[in-house]
Structure 1
Amino acid sequence: MVAPEGRSSGRGGLLQQLLRFTAVGVVGAVVDLSAYLSGLHLGLPTYAARALSFVCGTTTAYVLNRRWAFQVEGSAGRAAGFALLYGTTFLVIIGVNAAALALLPEWWWTVTFAWALSQGLGTMVNFVMLRTVVFRR
């Protein structure tokens, strides 16, 4: 089935969006984790490093998701919805990251695992909300 805009809809459209969202997520995650570890290496407090990394990863994700994964035109409403969603997600990932750092034993992998745990939860929430609210057609 083809949507009026020439894009596929239904199950195939969902799968294609999910695959593109995943690819965008990988790129955004690399940007996010790189900024997080760089911030920590430069001596930023954990919360500041995570905030910086979130902004870098989120900016990357918004541009790529809007243009490629969900293939929609930009608008002030979409940008505002995206900002609201990611602002909420930011609070969640900061909380999960902090909780993981407080609860996990201090090993060489703890910082990266805490980041991955918070990122994974945020990613699941974001896909559902982006698809159903922000970038719906």
Structure 2
Amino acid sequence: MTAAPLASDAAGGPGPTLLGQLLRFGVVGLFSAAVDLTVYTLALHLGAWTPAARTLSFVCGTSTAYVLNRRWAFRVEGSRRRALGFVVLYGTTFFVILGVNAAALALLPDGSWRVTLAWALSQGFGTVVNFVLLRTVVFRA
């Protein structure tokens, strides 16, 4: 089941171009990352266990990313198959990101920036993988 794109780029093609998708994905990513980091920091500040805080922040950031990427970055209609593909991709990525975050926390020296840097490293790693798989598998028109 393939859905038609919701809109096209200024070039007038049938869907967003690679550059258009990449730029929109970047904007969505920055916004979703801000949601993620805010929830993570707040949860830690409130005394949450680090893996629980990272889990909660990931779910909030990922939910934001799904909605905005589907509607704006990749401009495709929603479907159960796409939603399931997104859940499987991000569910797998979550465990990788959680591992990268834990490894970074274990390896980085103590400092006030340590938690934020560990989060950023895990987020950056997941972002690259997710763009490629979202574009080629989940949101391909």
- TM-score between the two structures when normalised by the length of structure 1: 0.93
Calculate percent identity across the aligned residue pairs: 68
1:39 to 36, 43, 50: 43
> 2:135 maps to what in 1?
131
Output one character per residue of 1:96-123: Cα deviation in whole Å (capped at 9) or x when no partner: 0000000110111000000000000000
Q: Which runs of structure 2 are paired with 1:73-88 in the superposition (5 Å)? A: 73-88=77-92
1:59 to 60, 63, 84: 63
Q: What secondary structure, in the 3-state scheme, does the structure 1 residue paired with 2:112 have?
A: coil
Amino acid at match of 1:49: A
Q: What secondary structure, in the 3-state scheme, does the structure 1 residue paired with 2:17 have?
A: helix
2:97 to 85, 93, 111: 93
Q: What secondary structure, in the 3-state scheme, does the structure 1 residue paired with 2:111 have?
A: coil
Matched, 1:110 2:105: no
Which structure has more RCO (C-alpha within 8 Å, separation ≥ 6)?
Answer: 2
Name the CA distance, whole Å, in 2 between partners of 1:65 and 1:21: 6
**Structure 2 unmatched runs, 5+:** none
Amino acid at match of 1:65: N
Name the CA distance, whole Å, in 2 between partners of 1:44 and 1:83: 24
Name the CA distance, whole Å, in 1 between partners of 2:23 and 2:59: 23
| Aligned-pair CA distance for 1:79 | 0.2
Residues 50 and 9 of structure 1: CA distance in aligned 2, closer, same or farther (over 3 Å): same
Q: How many pairs align?
A: 133
Query: Would you tell me which structure has more helix in proportion to its own residues?
Result: 1
Cα RMSD for the two superposed structures: 1.5
| Aligned-pair CA distance for 1:15 | 0.3
1:20 to 20, 24, 31: 24
Output one character per residue of 1:58-117: Cα deviation in whole Å (capped at 9) or x when no partner: 000000000000000000000000000000010000000000000110111000000000
Matched, 1:72 2:76: yes
| Aligned-pair CA distance for 1:9 | 6.3
- TM-score between the two structures when normalised by the length of structure 2: 0.91
